[in-house]
Structure 1
Amino acid sequence: MEEVKVSARSAAFRQAIAAFINERREAKLKGTDDEQSAAKYEYTTWLTDAARRVSQIQAVTHVLKATHPDARGSSLYVTPNELPQHIEIGTHCLGDRYDTDIVGNAAALDVYKFLKLDIEGLRLLDWFQQDDPDLLAALHHDPAIAREWADAFKSLIRGQDSFASHPMAKQIYWCVSGEPTDDAGFHLLQPLFSSSLTHAVHQNIQDARFGESNKLARQARREKAAHDSPCREYLNLVARKLGGTKPQNISQLNSDRGGVNYLLASLPPTWSQDRPRKFLYIDSVMPRFIHYEGVRELVEALCRLLESNPGKTMETRVHRERIEQALGQSLAAFGMEIRHLFQPGWTRDDNCRLPLCEQIWLDPERTELAVSDEHRDEDLAFIEAYEWKNWPNEVAHRFGNWLNGILQKRDLPVGDVEHAHWARQAIIDADWPASMQRRALPSGQGETSHE
């Protein structure tokens, strides 16, 4: 048997391996004198056992158990550069900078930690894959045994001749023939959880939340000071926990994250409110008012009360008045919200078809703007109508028509008297300015008829 000459570099490999094994022994035995257990951590004994146990784990990039912990199918190892390079964000975007995950028997994960040892800037696994002669010499004085162990450790990253799915795995039948009635014209797809991509996203988010650079950027933003780096934030995150109290049963990277897997917000776009799109091209805002918070429920409560034909008791009157007052208050809040939501002068838009009274109600600060040359006549008419102060009554009149129309569709017997009553509620019980309240009509006087 040929002796392998041990170089200084080979000795460095052996020293690093021996140090790792000694750390494992100290962590497991914690100073006990159990000689039988200590013998397991002799250099050759531990490497022999590790080379045997490495078959119980596998290096992967896509993990099946993240879909369901009881799934028993295939996980995959596919480097990002091997994947189709789509324009959409995916695992392929990671390039050469990605983390490998480990699945299999959690009791054998110490073997992976061994293969992750950093020596001269590379993992021990990388040196095994390069068949580094100094590393082989450090493993064992017998080249045959060293080669056997090295081949075993290299098998951590291994291909598969066949693949298996499982009832617990996600599966999609994808039509490839274009004939949905042809049972043979489908491929069965199994989407897999990209652990490498998830880990990259997790690291990015953690750096944005707790990294020193982003902390300084946030502080500069709060203080309205200049800063060289952008301030990164991820809003509306959801943390999905995988593996429960044993995240290592899913995978090694999942365990490193404590089982936390961030989900980014998947929400419809929030449209810019710089132009009041919802209030253009319509003849009145009253149909929009029904969608305001709580209004539909109030209208429905009023309809149910009137349809029940209640007795003329104090209890009935109090119940009805509470609903009516709440509607009037909602109308005031609705108007106030619109006034604060849009920039003054939004009713100048050529596509604004609201009646003048509603324009003044929803855009009163337009009167404080300089008269526009482009809208001179409209601006002067707007200011005159605002100062005349009849527009609150007109808005209340339109509110009464709107509510009467809803009640009539429910076959409730309402007419001019009810209309005038609703109008009075809109003015008196809502949060109108004092100048408007002075023009509120007394009960039974000057009631406005239907349009």
Structure 2
Amino acid sequence: MQQLNARAHTFRQAIAGFIAARKDEKLKNPEQDAISAQKYDYATWLADAARRVNQLQAATHIAKATHSSAGGSSLYVPPENLPCRAEIGTHMLKGMVPIDVVGNAAALDVFKFLKTQVEGKTLLAWAERGDADLKAALSDNPQMAEAWVKAFAGLVAPSGTAQSHALMKQIYWLTGENPLEDRDFCLLQPVFSSALAHVIHAEIQDTRFGEQNTEARNAFYKKQPYDGAYKDYKGLAVRKLGGTKPQNVSQLNSERGGVNYLFASLPPTWQSQYKPPVLNRTTVLSAFFKTKEAFVALQKLAQFLKSDPAPNVETRQKRTHLEQEIAFALVEFAALIKSSLPAGWSRAPACELALCEKLWLDPERSTLPENDEFLEDDRLFKEAYALGDWPDEVAQRFANELNALLRKAGLVTVGNTEYEHWVQQVMIEAAWPVPVRRRVKEKI
């Protein structure tokens, strides 16, 4: 037996360690199964592994991931051999591509063996380089060691002409003008990249179950501060490949338990731009009572009053609460319009609102410099704003509208008493140092 240098000895220790672990895994009682145990002798197991490695094919793109009965070729294409594209793809995995294998599932232990690392690289990588110390570690017979290294390195060697298959769904769609030009076609179904799927799976698993995110979630649940970052992937779906036998698809698919994550592919949720209901109408109050908040509160109030409640404290409190819901909704309605439009919007010819509602909803117009185009209107606007009658006029219009809606809801008896009550309850914001007192005028 030749004397091994320190580096070759490291290789041999790694190889012997894998074989011993494999033996312990498969043989529960090696002493009672001496014949089976002989298969795990160092040279015997390596010779068998070198023979069985040709039953496997290294791959980055897997045919059976598209369909379990696909008979096309799986491909091994290093990322550096792929064109750089703007889309996310296998070409982005340079330097960190995980190698997958397809073939006889009974030979997958050979691939696990070749993934054993020495000095930060796999035995497969050292075999591809024809490393002399690896050869020395494999066998004292130089010819045998050379043959085994070539056999192991052949795992990633090209395996003839690549072939597609109907079940791989390699459909090309003509997007250009000339069907004789390859560049005028678009491939609708790329070959499934197991390498990319594996990297994405590892990232998502780390996000979901990694230590950093776990600490962040614990801090959140305990309402404690946390200085680190928190990542999450919303709307994930899972596609299981291979059913109960994920190893029949590929080795990496087996390591993932057949789990392949799918990101949410959903259209954006558009938020409609708010369009204040102030143009081409004589009042905004009809639009106000169609808002969700006002409509719901009004229905509650109508139903409560129609129930003919007893005249007691509880009734007054319930009615007051419902009236306040409507009043607060009116304040929010007005505030939204004011914040959505620039000062002076009521000058627009399409604004047909009553002057009191213009003063209510466009109060900042009174502070703008006079516009020659609207000179007379601006002067009337400022005078009316300073006079201060407009909050009462808005309140009276509100009371009339509310009474009309209550009658429509079946409360035919509402009249002046309710009208005066609504005028007193409505809240109209005015730019005055003290709240403007509601002055009830005779119902029109």
Query: After superposition, what is the alpha-carbon deviation per residue over 1:273-300, rounded to whole angstroms, capped at 9, x for unaligned?
Result: 7x5259798869999x99x9xxxxxxxx
2:29 corresponds to 1:31: yes
Name the counterpart of 2:338. Answer: 345
Identity over the aligned pairs, expressed in percent?
42
- The 3-state SS of whatever aligns with 2:265 is coil
SS state of the match for residue 247, structure 2? helix
Partner residue, 1:116 = 115
* 1:152 Cα offset (Å): 0.8
Work out whether 1:238 is the aligned partner of 2:231.
Answer: no
Q: For the pair shown, which has the larger CA radius of gyration, 1 or 2?
A: 2
Residues 423-446 of structure 1: per-residue CA shift (max 9 Å, x gap): 979x9xxxxxx949x99xxxxxxx
TM-score normalised per structure 2: 0.66
Q: CA offset at residue 215 of structure 1?
A: 3.1
Alpha-carbon offset, residue 123 of structure 1 = 0.8
Q: Secondary structure at the match of 1:262?
A: strand
Change (3 A) 1:422 1:346: farther
In structure 2, relative to structure 1, the CA distance for the partners of 1:386 and 1:212 (3 Å cut) is farther
Question: Do the aligned partners of 2:399 and 2:422 also contact (CA within 8 Å) in 1?
Answer: no
1:71 is paired with a residue of what secondary structure? coil
Distance in 1 (alpha carbons) for counterparts of 2:255 and 2:8: 31
Aligned partner letter, 1:388: A
Q: Secondary structure at the match of 1:156?
A: helix
1:173 corresponding residue in structure 2? 172
- Name the structure 2 match of 1:9: 7
TM-score, structure 1 length as denominator?
0.65
Between 168-177 and 136-145, report the one with greater CA deviation.
168-177
Query: Which residue in the other structure is 2:397 paired with?
Result: 390
Return the alpha-carbon distance in structure 1 between the equivalents of residues 253 and 276 of structure 2.
46
Of 77-86 and 112-121, deviating more is: 77-86
Q: Equivalents in 1 of 2:247, 2:56: separation in Å? A: 12
Q: Could you give the per-residue CA deviations for residues 50-77 of structure 1, whole angstroms, max 9, x where no partner exists?
A: 1111112222111121111111111111
Q: CA deviation at 1:173?
A: 2.2
Which deviates further from its counterpart, 45-54 or 374-383? Answer: 374-383
Q: How does 1:310-321 map to 2 (within 5 A)?
A: none
Q: 1:134-171: per-residue Cα shift (whole Å, max 9, x none)? A: 11011112111111111111111122431111121122
Within 5 Å, give how 1:345-364 maps onto structure 2: 345-346=338-339, 348=341, 350=345
- Rounded to whole Å, the distance in 2 between the matches of 1:211 and 1:10 is 37
Q: Which runs of 5+ in 1 are unaligned?
A: 293-331, 401-419, 428-433, 440-451
Equivalent position SS for 1:261: strand
CA contact (8 A) 1:25 1:38 kept: yes
User: Deviation at 1:389?
Assistant: 4.3
* 8 A Cα contact 1:175 1:185, kept in partner: no
Aligned residues: 365
Name the SS for the 2:234 alignment partner: coil
- The equivalent residue for 1:49 is 48
> Do the aligned residues in 1 keep the contact of 2:286 with 2:401 (CA within 8 Å)?
no
Superposed, 1:169-318 pairs within 5 Å as 169-175=168-174, 178-179=177-178, 189=187, 191-218=190-217, 223=223, 225=225, 227=227, 229-271=228-270, 276=274
Q: Structure 1 residues 5 and 209 mapped into 2: Cα distance closer, same or farther (>3 Å)?
A: same
CA RMSD for the aligned pairs?
Answer: 4.8
The 1:277/1:160 distance shift into structure 2, 3 A limit, reads: farther
Shift of 1:251: 1.6
